[in-house]
Amino acid sequence: MPSTRAGGRLLFAGAARRHRVSGPDPHLSERLRLFQQLRAAQQQRDEAGTGTGTGTGTGSGRPPPGTPIRIALPGGGCLPGRALQTTPFQVATQLGGGLAKAALVARVNGTLQDLDRPLESDTDLELLDFSTPEGRAAFWQSSACVLGAVAEQFYGATLCSAQATEDGFFCDVHMGERTVQRGELPALEDACDTFARTGHRFERLEATRQQLAELFKHNSFQLQQIEEEVTSPTATVYRCGPLLQLCHGPLLRHTGLIAALRILTSSAAFWRGAGSRQSLQRVAAVAFPSAQDLAAWQQAQDEAALRDHRRIGREQELFFFHKLSPGSCFFLPRGAHVYNTLVDFIRSEYRARGFCEVVTPNVFSPQLWELSGHWQHYSTHMFSFTAGTETLSLKPMNCPAHCLMFAHRPRSWRELPLRLADFGVLHRNEPPSTLTGLTRVRRFQQDDAHIFCTLEQLEGEIDACLDFVQTVYATLGFSFRLALATRPPGFLGDPETWDRAEQQLERSLRAFGQPWELSLGDGAFYGPKIDIRIRDALGRQHQCGTIQLDFQMPERFELEYASATGGVVRPVLIHRAVLGSVERMVAVLAESCGGRWPLWLSPVQAMVIPQAPEVEDYAREVQAVLRGDGMMADLDGDAGATLARKIRRAQLAHYNFQLVVGRRERAHGTVSVRTRDNRQLGEHDLHRLLQRLRELRDARVPDAEEQF
């Protein structure tokens, strides 16, 4: 699509004008001129060494511009540089090897920053590309700015927000009564490609609240965001072509790095949630550094669509949803088998690891949640109702009930660590638009457990939790990544307690020996945590397990135990889950294995196939023997189908084994065994077959068909 420039704006010729809902922004030139004035002043201050950013100014201890600095690189390398002059991009260029082209953002002394932002002092420098979570986040946030800039010009709309997500990005725009039509998306995508190829630079400005108010005075949405979210004296604004966007960053150097962009969907949204009356339009997209990356992503999407757990659940008759109970799953017998097998697996680990399973109520007074602190932070996600004169709530988590259990009688140090496990039903009031199969539901269960222990026991308990995680995920066939999530805004308690808790988790992570990363500000409001992200067979990551350290809730519930010396001491609380939501784990497993379940978990373990109607009675005997031992065994008694058709039908349905019986097998008390990959394993005595299947199932081997 051809484009022209006018007054600092990018105007799209032809079709774009037909999509506009308003005329050109009359204030654009004014805003861009103010931005450039403020940025020029900032650059002068930086060059003089008197900037207002973090760690700047004459009293900050930062060396003057041009002072020699030391730049430490991963692996032990070191380069010289100049304070406030050398940039991470210059270092990437100097190092060569394609780094200047691949690097997207930098980690400087543990903090992410733009590649063109000069280094201030001695630096530990790491260059991050698209393969890293931080690199992808910056790439997609930058791409969201491209989409936002184009959407404003394309529709004459007002950009409300532009955000990166775990798997792409989206923009929310206000268009009055106008909506984004699906047929317009290809033209919008072409306009984004044109804009990106132009190579607009991402220019960063640190502005005061007063300057922010002036820059965004014609955008009420951005002004509200500034009022609600900017609590520091300054905040960061980026310019990308005609766009000004309040954004923490870091972002890319320029839009030319965005080589391939695909617009996915458009939908309705609401400003600040469904309670707002401001209706918006949301456009979701994804982008990559190369067309090859986009093609690989599309191939993965096609594969994921074939593995969608909702399709597998329907085809294998595992579960369904109904409009009369939105967000709550109906597990059919086969699905209940998978569900209960996962729970039984965790229960077996609980028995081996000293956990005690408990049962707690579903309905509580709000006083409980006020005491725990959840009411302040979580009440909008809870189901509450009145019963007579009382207000009651369905529990969204188990930890407060477990605190009541600990506190219901005096406790001694001899009882610690006390490990309480609970598979109780939980309810969370998720918005209707977010409900997605089993991955986002309103009714669910977790492999939830809470450990009450002494400070001296804390390190050993965290280490044991990490070993628990490793054991379970290895059995399920997942690799995983660990992240230490630190205190968020609005945290409960004092910073010193948080520091102590974070340091303990960091020590445990280092001792565990697996790679981990820092996730600043992502902790729970009551304590830091270790987030565990598993990687499935398609390479996708899922947040399932967590280990959370909590010094706050024992204080709020006044939990205490008698110490060995006779004093009274507060216990430490560890929240932990490995599967997380069992519903979500069923979805992740279904998609990861594509419906080809491992034998121990499979809802379709064996299909008994009679060669002819005359041996169907024996086939039913075989099925009964298998079912009597807890095997999921079905029988294909279709007299109108050939033997070959029955076998093929069972293999397409992913039955782990097909057990064929005819006159010979009936006479000898045997079965002929095939696998779902059509391997013929020969004739086997029925009871020896059952013994072998039991051994493979109980050992939870991932490849029983190969090990048979």
Concerning whether 575 is annotated as a catalytic residue, the answer is: yes
Name every residue whose Cβ is closer than 8 Å to that of residue 56 and which is 6 or more positions away in sequence.
45, 46, 49, 50, 62, 120
Strand partners, 234: 208
Cis, peptide link before residue 250, omega less than 30° from 0: yes
CB-based contacts of 129-136 (< 8 A; 24+ apart in sequence): 129/102, 129/103, 129/104, 130/102, 130/104, 130/288, 130/289, 130/293, 133/517, 134/105, 134/107, 135/104, 135/105
Name every residue whose Cβ is closer than 8 Å to that of residue 21 and which is 6 or more positions away in sequence.
155, 156, 157, 175, 176, 178
| Residue of 542, 575, 584, 666 marked catalytic | 575
Q: How far apart are CA 349 and CA 344, in angstroms?
A: 9
CB burial string 654-671: b at 16+ within 10 A, e below: bbbbbbbbbeebbeeebb
First-to-last alpha carbon distance for the chain, in angstroms, is: 61
Phi, psi of 49 (to 5 degrees): 80, 20
Concerning whether 529 is annotated as a catalytic residue, the answer is: yes
Cis, peptide link before residue 571, omega less than 30° from 0: no
Q: How far apart are CA 47 and CA 40, in angstroms?
A: 11
C-beta atoms surrounding 11 within 10 Å: 15
Q: How far apart are CA 469 and CA 530, in angstroms?
A: 11
CA atoms within 13 A on the CB side of 361: 12
Name every residue whose Cβ is closer than 8 Å to that of residue 86 and which is 6 or more positions away in sequence.
69, 71, 118, 119
334, 634 in Cβ contact below 8 A?
Answer: no
Sign of the C-alpha dihedral computed for residues 619, 624, 625 and 631 taken in this order: positive
Which residue, chain included where needed, has tokens 């543990």?
110
Q: How far apart are CA 571 and CA 406, in angstroms?
A: 10
The strand ranges marked E within 514-578 are: 516-519, 529-535, 541-550, 561-562, 568-569, 572-577
| Residue of 450, 487, 584, 676 marked catalytic | 450
Concerning whether 174 is annotated as a catalytic residue, the answer is: no
Concerning whether 381 is annotated as a catalytic residue, the answer is: no
| Residue of 529, 542, 674, 684 marked catalytic | 529
| Helix residue ranges per DSSP H, 103-208 | 133-155, 185-197
| CA distance to 110, 137, 467, 482, 516, per residue, from 519 (Å) | 11, 13, 21, 10, 10
475, 345 in Cβ contact below 8 A?
Answer: yes
The number of angstroms, rounded, from the C-alpha of 422 to the middle of its chain's C-alpha atoms is 24
What stretch of H or E contains 244? strand 243-246
345, 476 in Cβ contact below 8 A?
Answer: no
Amino acid identity of residue 344, one-letter, is: D
| Residue of 160, 247, 329, 399 marked catalytic | 399
Concerning whether 470 is annotated as a catalytic residue, the answer is: no
What is the SS3 assignment for 85-107?
Answer: CCCHHHHHHHHCCCHHHHCCEEE
| Residue of 281, 446, 457, 658 marked catalytic | 446
The tokens describing 156, both together, are 């004459």
The tokens describing 243, both together, are 């766009």
Concerning whether 428 is annotated as a catalytic residue, the answer is: yes
Concerning whether 542 is annotated as a catalytic residue, the answer is: no
Q: How far apart are CA 312 and CA 322, in angstroms?
A: 17
Phi, psi of 627 (to 5 degrees): -65, -30
Strand partners, 102: none
Catalytic residues, which ones?
Answer: 399, 428, 446, 448, 450, 529, 575
